[in-house]
Amino acid sequence: MKARSFAFSPWLSLGFLLFLGALLTGVSALAQDRFSLAEELQKPGVKLVVLEFYASWCMPCRAAVKDWDLLHQQYQAKGLRFVVVTVGEEGGCTNPGWAPDRVICDKDGYWQKKYGVEKLPQAFLYTWQGELISERAHVEQVEKAIGRFFKETQLRMTIDQPEVIGDKYAIGSNPEWVRDYVRGEVRKGSKFDVVDEATKALPKQLEGGQCSVSFPPNSDLRIKLFGDGEGQRSLTLTLEKDGCVLASSQQPYKGQGFKEDADSLKWAMREAVKEVLATVTKVKLPRPMVLGKPGGEDWFEEVEVAVVSFEPSPKGVVMVDGKLLCAETPCSKSLTPGSHEVTISAENYVTRTETLNAKNGLKVDWKLVPDFGLLSVTTVPEGLEILIDKLPAGKSPLRNHRVDPGKHLIESQSACHYPASTSESFARGDQREVTLKPEPILGGLEVAVKDEKGNDVLAEASLDGEPLGQAPGRFKVSVCGKVLKVSAPGYTDETVQAEVREKKMVKVAVTLAEAKDAPHETRNVYPGEVLRRKSDVEVKELTHMDTQIASHYHVSSGDDGEEIVFDERTKLTWTGRWWKDVTWHRAFSGCKELMYAGHSGWRLPHKAELEALLDKGLSKAPYSTFPQMPATWFWTSTAYNSFNFSDNRAWYVDFVRGDASNRFITARLAARCVRP
């Protein structure tokens, strides 16, 4: 740019120029704006700020307008920001005649006094770090200072390829997108020109643990991604210059299996970039604010911040001092050190508010109190519809269903059972389990069985696969029964549709046809089962198991070679073999009819007798030192209600968990016989 000579030399006094400007030019009022040089310098991408004082009566100022405009256009893309302070004139401030980044109206002379401006033209040039590199200058001097700055100060950053540490749990996709995202965040929030060259310099800590440079021109930003099979994932950004670690930030992120959560990883990258840049881009001005006048007040006061993380359970919304801070957690934010009112809220949880002292590293991991109770509902039998306050809630077993604090009506519904209900009151955080035992809706079947010649036939009757007993006979059955089956040796099985009615006896006549060429199959069946099909009963033999046999059990063989086990404590003898998948009736009658090891008189054991085989001191199933005891459920002969089987339930002993419980007698469990 060609240098200009000015007719006003030496520079005119400000008072005379004000008088002359009032005569020569018209005025247009501009609003007096708030102005902060610190805010201008800290704006993203800004590397230099020109602060020019201008008045329309200043001939050198007006002559330099075109040159200022060209200078601004030349360096604006590189980070030059131009602020013009228009000196107040009679009636207001005048427009500078071109389009700088900002125009400040100084109609009462505040900014002239603040910067010690007594003559025009004057301009000041600041670096983004607050260093004054051209003072009380005009366009030629400012242009030279700008050129030197961009020639000597290369604010470049190289972002390396991401390094994946551990295994593919860190990131399942191509990590190139991570570098692209970090590059974009750096460009948005810093003074750096991002380049793609890679550097091989390794980081090191200089003597005394401190880096020798305060700002990292031509630095490297390294990206590391870590993940392991336990779900721990983290992103680390490290800024290095000549082997010196200038700044570093580590942030966690989420994922599932080998796949990273992209949104969570983006959040980690944003937070890490902000933390690294905040470390190396602090603005401090080592000069007094009133330029050229020692002892003036500083133009910028450094403010301390405290980074606080918020990780409540469950996730929620964070408010600080009545303003939204985080719309979603987890999050970490910078706060002014000191006391703040923190409020965290989440849907269906009680809002919590406390006054906290913000400091670096503070972690707010409150556990919010649920604004509900948890209800679990089981029914006997399972699978019934559950209503809560007359509204469907699902089928039983119902686990951890949320209910509002207060009293609630819990009901079961079934076409096969009468309704059952109970009422429960809940406070916040209560957990309650309710068991409903609705009575079955019963009807009767009177079954008559004859052959084709009209003779009565003794047969076995079952309804929907569950044994009823011998027919002819009367049976109390559920109204939901559908298919009646009648079987007798030498005859073909017959099935008919049952139409059971509540509290009514329905007569059913069944005629059996003699089976053609049906061989009469007989064999020594364990233990006493009348075999109709080979698949009806599965006999389990003793097999080797790891559990050590207790000394009070003695294994021997009977007359037919079958194994028996004698228990010295109870003086009972047990069969070595056992049934799998038999109903209670099948187990009870089978033991009663059993001829085994040369002996009859076998029976299904009582609950107390079978529980005596448990050993709860063991650490795993089967919880027994009985020889080759399998980990399964065994029937007992004890009725659930201790008097009769009117509720169709009996006790069983569970060698899987080491306790006893009850089930419907139509269930298929294991069985073992005992004598005497």
Mean pLDDT of 150-171: 70
Domain presence at residue 296: no
Rounded to a whole number of angstroms, the CA Rg of the chain reads: 46
Token pair recorded at residue 317:
């919304």
Phi, psi at 23, each rounded to 5°: -80, -35
CATH (domain of 76): 3.40.30.10
193 and 110 in a common domain: no
pLDDT tops 50 at residue 529:
no
Write the burial class of residue 351 (CB in 10 Å: 0-12 exposed, 13-18 middle, 19+ buried). middle
Is pTM beyond 0.75? Reply is no
Contacts (Cβ under 8 Å, ≥6 apart) of 604: 587, 588, 591, 592, 635, 636, 637, 671, 673, 674
Count of domains in the chain?
Answer: 6
Write the burial class of residue 154 (CB in 10 Å: 0-12 exposed, 13-18 middle, 19+ buried). exposed
Please measure the distance between the N-terminal and C-terminal CA atoms of the chain and give it in whole angstroms: 120
Of the chain, the percentage scoring pLDDT greater than 90 comes to: 30
Q: How confident is the model at residue 215 (pLDDT cuts 50, 70, 90)?
A: very low
- Tally of residues, the chain: 676
661 and 551 in a common domain: yes
**Structure confidence at residue 531 (pLDDT):** 27
CA–CA distance, 565 with 578 (Å, rounded to integer): 12
Closest CA to 385 of 419, 413, 421: 413
270 and 187 in a common domain: yes
Mean pLDDT of 589-612: 91
Q: Which of 436, 453, 474 is the last residue of a domain?
A: 436
**Upstream peptide bond of 381 is cis (omega within 30 degrees of 0):** yes
DSSP states of 395-409 = ESSEEEEEE-SEEEE
Mean pLDDT of 204-224: 55
pLDDT tops 60 at residue 24:
no
568 and 636 in a common domain: yes
Closest CA to 296 of 288, 287, 306: 288
Mean pLDDT of 445-468: 90
667 and 606 in a common domain: yes
pLDDT tens digits, one per residue of 542-562: 333 445 678 889 998 877 788
Closest CA to 342 of 333, 358, 354, 332: 354
pLDDT tops 70 at residue 32:
no
Phi, psi at 207, each rounded to 5°: -55, 135
Domain presence at residue 517: no
pLDDT tops 50 at residue 424:
yes
pLDDT tops 90 at residue 421:
yes
Domain presence at residue 184: yes
Which domain range does residue 449 map to?
442-512
662 and 580 in a common domain: yes
318 and 264 in a common domain: no
Distances in Å between the Cα of 634 and the Cα atoms of 360, 615, 638, 649, 663 are 62, 15, 12, 14, 11
Contacts (Cβ under 8 Å, ≥6 apart) of 674: 572, 573, 574, 575, 591, 602, 603, 604, 605, 609
The average confidence (pLDDT) of the chain is: 79
**Structure confidence at residue 167 (pLDDT):** 55
CA–CA distance, 30 with 2 (Å, rounded to integer): 32
398 and 351 in a common domain: no
Q: Could you tell me if 650 and 639 are in contact, meaning their C-beta atoms sit under 8 angstroms apart?
A: yes
CATH (domain of 637): 3.10.100
139 and 27 in a common domain: yes
Token pair recorded at residue 673:
């016989």
Burial 615-644 (b: 16+ CB within 10 A, else e): beeeeebbbbbbbbbbbbbbbbbbbbeeee
In one letter, which amino acid is 54?
Y
353 and 255 in a common domain: no
In one letter, which amino acid is 98?
W
**Structure confidence at residue 449 (pLDDT):** 92
Least confident of 138-147, 219-228, 515-524, 606-615: 515-524
**Structure confidence at residue 538 (pLDDT):** 38
Q: How confident is the model at residue 409 (pLDDT cuts 50, 70, 90)?
A: very high
Domain presence at residue 288: no
Looking at the DSSP bridge assignments, the partners of residue 496 are: 484
**Structure confidence at residue 240 (pLDDT):** 80
Mean pLDDT of 640-654: 71
**Structure confidence at residue 231 (pLDDT):** 72
Q: Which of 117, 135, 152 is the last residue of a domain?
A: 152
Q: How confident is the model at residue 191 (pLDDT cuts 50, 70, 90)?
A: low
222 and 192 in a common domain: yes
**Structure confidence at residue 378 (pLDDT):** 94
CA–CA distance, 495 with 544 (Å, rounded to integer): 43
Of the chain, the percentage scoring pLDDT greater than 70 comes to: 79
Let me know the angle formed at the C-alpha of 622 by 619 and 623, rounded to the nearest 5 degrees: 55
**Structure confidence at residue 303 (pLDDT):** 58
pLDDT tops 70 at residue 643:
no
Domain presence at residue 590: yes
DSSP states of 547-574 = SPPPTTEEEEE-TTS-EEEEETTTTEEE
DSSP states of 620-667 = SSS---STT--SSEEEEEEETTSS-STT-EEEEEETTTTEEEEEETTS
CATH (domain of 406): 2.60.40.1120
**Upstream peptide bond of 630 is cis (omega within 30 degrees of 0):** no
pLDDT tops 80 at residue 478:
yes
Domain presence at residue 289: no
**Structure confidence at residue 526 (pLDDT):** 39
Q: How confident is the model at residue 509 (pLDDT cuts 50, 70, 90)?
A: very high
451 and 410 in a common domain: no
> In the block, which residue shows the tokens 């009757």?
461
Domain presence at residue 294: no
Q: Could you tell me if 3 and 141 are in contact, meaning their C-beta atoms sit under 8 angstroms apart?
A: no
Domain presence at residue 9: no
Mean pLDDT of 513-540: 41
The larger pLDDT score, comparing residue 389 to residue 256, is at: 389
